[in-house]
Every structure is written in C-alpha cells, then in structure tokens.
A and B are shown apart, each in its own frame.
Chain A
Amino acid sequence: MFFWKKENKKNNNKKEEWFYESLPGTNLMITDYFTDGLLIFDKDNKIILLNPKAEEFFEVKEENVLGESILELGRFSRFYPLVSLLGGGIKEVFRRELQIDEGFILEVTSVGILKDGARVAILVILHDISRDKLTQKMKTDFVTVAAHQLRTPTSAIKWSLQVLLEEDLGKLNKEQKKVLEKTYETNEKVIHLVNDLLNVAEIEEGKYLSKMVLFNIEELVQEIIKDLKEQITEKKISLILEKPEEQLPQIMLDVEKMKIAIKNILDNAIKYTLSKGKVLVSLKRESEKNIIIQIQDTGVGIPFEEQDKIFTKFFRGSNIKKIDTEGTGLGLYIAKNIIEAHKGSIWFESEEGRGTTFYITLPIKERFGEYLTGEFY
C-alpha cells in the first residue's frame, strides 16, 4: 500500500482524513496523479474527494464542491449526465459510457464500499474514452461517408446504364447487352451494399432506433408481403399468412427499421426457395409478454457447419452464392440488431435441402426508457 499522507490544506470539516502509509521521501497524493478521474462520496452521498483529473473533466475545483450532495452537483452542466446516470442514491454501475460533452465521453464505474453490511463510501471512477470513441466513430464515419458519397455515382451509373440498355443511343449486340445487364445488376448491388453499410454504421454508433410508435405488426407484415409480391409471383411461390382471429395487441416499434428486419428475412425465404416452393408466415401470441413471428420456407436451407456464422457481418452461406450472387451478407446481422434493439429475439432451425424456419419474438410491454437510450449494445 502506498498512498501518501495528504497534507490537508483544505480546511473543510466535512472532508474525511485519509491516512495512508507515507512513501519515504515524498508527500504526494497518488490520486493527484491518476490518469482517471476519481470521485468519492461518503455514506450520505456527499462528495469528499475530487481528484485533479476529475476537476479537469468537470471543470470544477474540488474545494468548491466538497461536502455537497450528488444532486447538488447536478447544477453543473458537465456533472449533470453523471448525476442522471447514478441518481441521488448513487447506484453501482460497471463501465458505462457517458457523454459529457461534444466529443467528450467517459466510461463510468462506481463501486460501494461496505463495512458491516452498510455502505460507508462510494467510489466513482471515470475513464476518458473520447479518443477511443472518436477513433471508432471515425471508422464508422468512413463507412457512413463512403456510403453517402457513393450514392450519387451509383445513381448516375444506374441511369446511364438504363439509357444504354434501352438502346436509345444505339443498338447493342447480344454480348454487349449481357454484360451491360451484369453491370446494372452489380451496380444495384453497390446500392444495396451502401444502404446496408449505412445501417450497420448506425448500429455501431449505438443510436439505432429512432421513432418508436405503437403499431400493428400484422399490418407491417402485410406491407412487406405486398412489397415482395413481384418476386413471389415470378417464382410461383405459394405464400401463406397465418394470423389469429383476435387482433394482436399493438406493440412499440420503430416501424421503418422493423420493416427492414422482417423484410430481410422474408426476402431470404423467398430468394432461397426454389420455384413453386412454399413460404409460411405466421403471427401468434406466444405468451402474456410476447408475440412470435414465424417465417418458414421450403428452400435450400443452411448447411449445418455454417449455422453459427449466419448472423455475422458479410457472411453468406456457401450454397446460396449461386442463387443470388449479389447478396451483401449484412441482412441478417442488421435484422438481428434491429430485433434485439426492440428487446426481442431471433433464432432459426434449418436443414440443408429441406428448408429454414426463422422465429422472431417481440415483447408486447412497452419500455420507453430502454428503447430511447439505445443502450442495448
């Protein structure tokens, strides 16, 4: 143990005396040198120590706040997020991220110290992760910026190719046409990829769900089926929608995102089912708490040894590349994240050559706060 005796120049009765073994030759307080911010509150939740790093973080001087309760500290704008997080009773948290200011993010850990079962003090440790976050953000920024920047050119190419393919400018021979179509398809892929990457980037950012409203899941599913009607008819897939007689309760959804999630899965079901196959979509109330959606196909299935990778980024099953060369490999990753962001769950059963069934549960009870803070990741 090696803290130094603190020369308590600060004349404040409310401050506790910290006695430590003194390091020979020095009279320095280690907490002064911590690269982390440190706050210590006594059993009445009043602050008794604020180290220099913490002073820097919060732009306050220790001597000006000693003895104040945590709630009183909330009057300082930089303290406010911390106070919100910990509350007046100072709850214990582990490595929680907290945005203090623009570009300034701290990782907060708070720990209570007990004596004879009662709490005598609480430590709050603050680690500056702004740089890490910034770096991470830059990476996702790359993806976001790239994606945005790519929208314009891809649109331009799409348009040019359409014009060329319609032979408005001149005739094309068979080969030329074929490759131009391929180009068009490929460009479409870039567009999809760009969209998916944007979604993934948003997921990485952690601020994924936006507007949550009460919505009828049946309606949502029916909308999706409508969007996919063309492919369904083209492939002569028989799609059945099963839903209960009684209307299912409405649930809190980010409609746009949930649409993407379910569409991704249903799209897969249709894509990977051969002509004249069957797809069953069923909606049910699983329990008091959940609604369950089942999407079952008679398609190619997922090879057993690949099943654990299905939800990872960019993964594409080995047996589907031939069917759909343009898939991005991000659809399921995105779907999973959206569903879990809604506090739901997703899993599947599959047998190669026979088909796949995806299950999605969504909670009926709405939990506002959790939805809005986006803290699920």
Chain B
Amino acid sequence: MDLRTDKENIEQNTRQSIEQAKKEKKENSLFEHLENLAEYTKNLWHFLPLALCYLDSNGFILEVNQTFEKTFSWKLSEIFNKPLNFFMSEKEALKVITQALQEKEIINEEMNFLTKKGEKVPVSVYSRARKNNKGNVVGLFLALTDIRETKKFQDKLKQKIKEKTKELEEKVIELEKTKVVLLNILEDVEEARKKVEEEKNKTQAIITNLTDGLMFFDQEKKLSLINRQAEEFFEIKNQQLIGQTLLELSKNFKFKLLRELIGEEIDNVFRKELKIKENLILEVTAIPLTTKKEKTGNLVILHDVTREKLIEKMKTEFVALSAHQLRTPLSTIKWILRMLLDEELGKINDQQKEFLNDGYQSNERMISLINDLLNVTRIEEGRYVYNLTPTDIIGTIQSVINSHQEEIKGKKLKVIFNKPKSKTFKVRVDAEKIRMVIDNIIDNAIKYSLLNGEILISLKYYKDKLKFSVKDNGIGIPQFQKERVFTKFFRGINAVKRETDGTGLGLFIAKNIIEAHKGSIWFESEEGKGTTFYFTLPLK
C-alpha cells in the first residue's frame, strides 16, 4: 500500500464516491425528476378544463380528472374500474373504444354520458389509445366535452332560428300581402290612369271631331285656356300664350284680326265671320259665361266654315251669272222692240204697234223681275250692305218724280210735292236703296191711280226724324188684304184685275230697306178711295 495507491485509492474512492454520489444524485434527481414529472402530470391532469378519463385496455375506468368529476358529479372512487358502457350505451362505448384502437378520430359525434344524478349528458368524445414501446395498447384516453351548453345553445339557436325564420316567413307573407296590395293599388292607378287617358281621349275626340277651336278668357280677360284646334287655326303651336290678354296676343297678326272683330269688349254674345287666311274662314262665336253672381269669363268658339262659304260663293256666283245670262237675251229683245217701236227700221201701223208694245212691256217686266228677285235674295241673306252717305232726300224725290213723267202725263195725273220750308240738310242713308223705296212707293201710287188722279207727295222734318208720305186717290187696298201688303209676292187682287205690272216684290224690299235704316213704313187705305204710304227715317 502505498501512498500512490492510497492516492489512487482515495481518488478511486473519491471517484467512486463522486460517481456514487453522482449516481445517487442522479438517481436522486432522477427520482426528483420523476417525482416532479409525476407531480406536473398530476397537476396538468387535474387542471385541464376538459373532462378526461383514462381507461385500461379493457375499457375500465382507471383515472378521471377533477373536471370529469365536476362535470359528471362522479368521484373516482365511485367509478373506479367501472366499464365504459356503464356510462354510455353499448353501441357508443364500443364505438369509442374501437375508434380509439383504430386510431381514428371521432369528430363531433354527439354521445351521451351518464352522470351521478342519472342524467344523460350530451358529450362530444375524443378518444386516443395509449400504446407501449411494443405497440400494444395499454390504455385509452378519453376527452369528453360537455356539450350541454353547446347543445342548449344549439337548441336555443335552433329555436331562435326557427323563430326568426317564422318571423321572417311572416314578414315575407306580409310583404307578399303588401306586394299584392301594392299591385292592386298599382292596378287601380293604372286603371284610373287609363280611365283618365280614356276620358282624355274622349275629350280629345270631342275636341278633335268638333273641329272647333276653343278659347277661354278669364275674368281678367286673360287667356286661360286654348285648345289644339284653336292653336292650329292660329298656327301657334307650343307657345306660351296663357295669361296674356287679347291685346297682348295681338302681336300675332291672326289674333289681331280676331281682336278687331271682337273689339275690346267681348262681353256680348255674337257670331261673326273672320277670314284668318286664304282657305280658312272661321265663324267666331263669343259667349260670356256667368254663374249666378258674377261673370266668370268669356268662351270663344271658332268654327271652320270655309267649305260652307265656298258653297255659298259658288251659289252666289251662279245666281249672278244666271241673272246675267237671262238679262242678255232680254236686252236684245228690248233693244230690237224699241227700234221697231221707234220706227227706226220702217213704219208700223197701230195694231203692230200695240203688239210690239205688249211684247216690250212683258220684256220689261221680266227684266224687272230678275232684279227684284236678286234684291230679295240679297236682303234675306243679310248681304244687303248699306252704304251710308249724306243724301239730299228732296233731290232724290224730285228726281224720282221726274223719271216718271211719261206715265204721269199718260194718266194725266196731278202731282204735288210739298217740300219742307226750312233749310234742308242731308240725311245719312243708303242713297241708292232709299231711292228705290221712294221710287217704289211713287210708282205704286201712279200705277194704282185712275185717270186724272191726284198724287200728293210730302216730306216733313221733325227733331229726330223725317217723314215721307205719298197720297193717291186711286183704287186702294181691300181690307182683307192689308195684312199681306208687305209680304213677298203680294199683289192686291185689284191690282191683278187691272193688269198692272209689278212683281209684288217692291214693298217687301222697301220694308226691309226702311227697317234696316231703323225707320218705319206703313200705310192707310180704303178701297176705291185711295192709299197713303208713309215712312220715317231717324235723324241722328
């Protein structure tokens, strides 16, 4: 033994001790380690908020964690070595185990787990087999998730969904209903609109087919409405005319014509013709509209009379032309007979003269008739235009008397003309027509006078009128005929017997003329004694 040995021994011993110590330490730390690990695992095991369960390879419970105990209310001691199918159905248990052994995952499968309280709690199971080195299964780990809450939640959700769905459905139904209602409304509106359109069409149809232009001026004399036809007549489409007075509208030439026709005042009802342009003549009717209390405006209606006017024109021309055509041969006859009667072509004896004269007179009558008839036509149409000029009536009367000198001499009549003594002045009349009247009356007086008769013609001026009278002492007018004297074609029977000529139109025309001058005409007569004709004319 040596020292070296000792040292070696000591070293060896130390080594050995250190190794021993290390070994022991190792063993100790290992142990500690193990202990720590065990502790750690245990803590972890119980810490996890997941219900865990460890089964042996036969499916008997060996370990559960605290969460398990809490969740399912089992104590380990109570369920140690109990089989899995105690808590689950056979089927489920079997499934769990087999899945675990097959290392298959059961995902989200809902199973039920028995609690201590006897409830079957819905759980979600996750299982995994524990294998040793050799690969043999030594146990099963189960993780059980209490899905009660989830389920509740799910159920609640489902419920909620159901509810909501129902709500939604209801809402949809409501919406459906609303839609239907709206559609109905729309349909009604559509119908109403169509109806309005229809009314409009009808209205339009009326307006169009009346072919009358219509305008309305309100109380302030402003144009309130104008229809399409009126616009067409005035050729003023699409212009803003509403609100303007007729005066303002008169900037347009055609409106100017209208205004001139109507005048400022359109308050009277009237009907007049207006030539708007070539080929368009309108009959304008103006009507003031009033309600019971006040005037609401004026309606102006425009009626196209172009065609009627054309027809009228044609007929008028025909009449004029007919007159001309008739007069032409009558002129020839007149002139020839005149020539013969005046012996310009040779002498004629008394008998020949008589016949020729008869012919001449007949011819003259025809000429007269045509003229009278033309006048009648004109008067009746109202086309008899009066041309008023200052006229010397006395001169006219005198002239008429002069023109009948031959007949007066022939019947040896005494004609006296009583003129007014005071200064004479001219009267505003239609000279030609008044002359016709005077001529007619004097002519009648001469014709119905007997030989050596007397005719008294007088003219008197009063403050507001003049009075003309012709008195004869001729055959007079029978009582029962007096009514008809001024009618067309009247000739007293006496006259007919006397074969005096005369178409019977003269007095009819005379009456029209005098009355057109706002005068009056009348007579007094006694059969066999004589007649006096009067007329008056107003002096303005």
Contacts and interface: CB of A to CB of B under 8 A. Distances in A.
- Per the CB under 8 Å rule, do A and B touch in the complex? yes
Interface of A: 1-3, 18-20, 23-28, 30-31, 33-36, 38, 40, 109, 111, 113, 115, 120-121, 123, 125, 127, 129, 132, 135-136, 138-143, 145-146, 149-150, 153-154, 156-157, 160-161, 163-164, 169-170, 172-173, 175-176, 179-180, 182-183, 186-187, 189-190, 193-194, 197, 200, 204, 313-314, 326, 328-329
Given A34-B301, A113-B202, A164-B356, 6 more contacts: A1-B203, A19-B196, A145-B373, A186-B332, A326-B329, A329-B325
B206 interface: yes
Contacts of A186: 329, 332-333, 336
Contacts of B356: 160, 164
Nearest to A149: B369
Interface stretch (B122-130, B212-220, B437-445): B212-220
Given A149-B503, A176-B345, A139 B289 contact: no
Contact of B362 (A20, A23, A109, A156): A156
Contacts of A153: 362-363, 365-366
24 contacts: A2-B225, A19-B195, A23-B216, A25-B296, A26-B291, A26-B296, A28-B291, A34-B301, A36-B303, A109-B209, A113-B201, A113-B202, A121-B202, A123-B209, A132-B312, A135-B381, A138-B376, A139-B319, A142-B373, A142-B374, A150-B326, A160-B362, A187-B329, A329-B325
B31 to A, nearest CB: 106
Contacts of B332: 182-183, 186
B316 A139 contact: yes
Contacts of A145: 373
B367 to A, nearest CB: 10
Interface string B285-325: 10101010000110101010000100110011011011101
Contact of A179 (B271, B301, B323, B340): B340
Contacts of A24: 224
A33 B287 contact: yes
Contacts of B326: 146, 150, 190, 193-194, 197
A36 B285 CA distance: 11
Given A176-B340, A187-B329, A138 B366 contact: no
B349 interface: yes
Interface string B347-370: 011011001101100110110011
A312 B362 CA distance: 31
Interface of B: 194-196, 198-206, 209-210, 212, 214, 216, 218-219, 224-225, 227, 271, 285, 287, 289, 291, 296-297, 299, 301, 303, 308, 311-312, 315-316, 318-319, 321-323, 325-326, 329-330, 332-333, 336-337, 339-340, 345-346, 348-349, 351-352, 355-356, 358-359, 362-363, 365-366, 369-370, 373-374, 376-377, 380-381, 503
Contacts of A26: 289, 291, 296-297
B308 A129 contact: yes
Given A146-B370, A176-B346, A182-B336, A193 B325 contact: yes
Given A35-B301, A113-B205, A314-B325, A190 B355 contact: no
Nearest to B351: A169
A31 B203 CA distance: 11
B301 A136 contact: no
Nearest to A204: B315
Nearest to A146: B373
A28 B296 contact: yes
Given A136-B315, A143-B318, A150 B369 contact: yes
A138 B380 contact: yes
A20 B365 contact: no
Contacts of A28: 289, 291, 296
Nearest to A134: B380
A183 B362 CA distance: 13
Shortest beta-carbon contacts, A-B, top 9: A2-B225, A153-B362, A169-B351, A170-B349, A160-B359, A139-B315, A173-B346, A186-B329, A175-B345
